[in-house]
Amino acid sequence: MPQMTFVEQDGTEHKVDAPVGLSVLEIAHKHGIDLEGACEGSLACATCHVIVDPAWAPKLAAPTDDEEDMLDLAFGLEKTSRLGCQIVMTEALDGLVVRLPSKA
């Protein structure tokens, strides 16, 4: 099974199993990672904002216009910011690393 790593704001890393077909948001919730997802993955908020490790960003599909619009609402936006609900795990993403943005 593929794995991925969540990096908390303080640098703590959580390497977790990442089932193919689940979104980064769903994987976070499955493993108790503090990633909100207020709209439950319906692309109506930016509370599942994650920052993709720069080495992994080019391996992801480009964000849709709707995702870009929601990202404009995210706090602490960075060049590799994405919404966790829009990144769906595949075998090719085995080893993916995402960082949780600062909440303040």
* CATH number, domain containing residue 77: 3.10.20.30
Instruction: Categorize the per-residue pLDDT at 104 as very low, low, confident or very high, splitting at 50, 70 and 90.
Output: low
Cβ–Cβ < 8 Å for 99, 51: yes
Residue 104 domain-assigned (yes or no): no
pLDDT at 45: 94
Domain count, the chain: 1
- Which residues form the domain of 9? 3-99
What is the chain's mean pLDDT, rounded?
96
pTM of the model as a whole = 0.96
CB 98 within 8 Å of CB 23? no
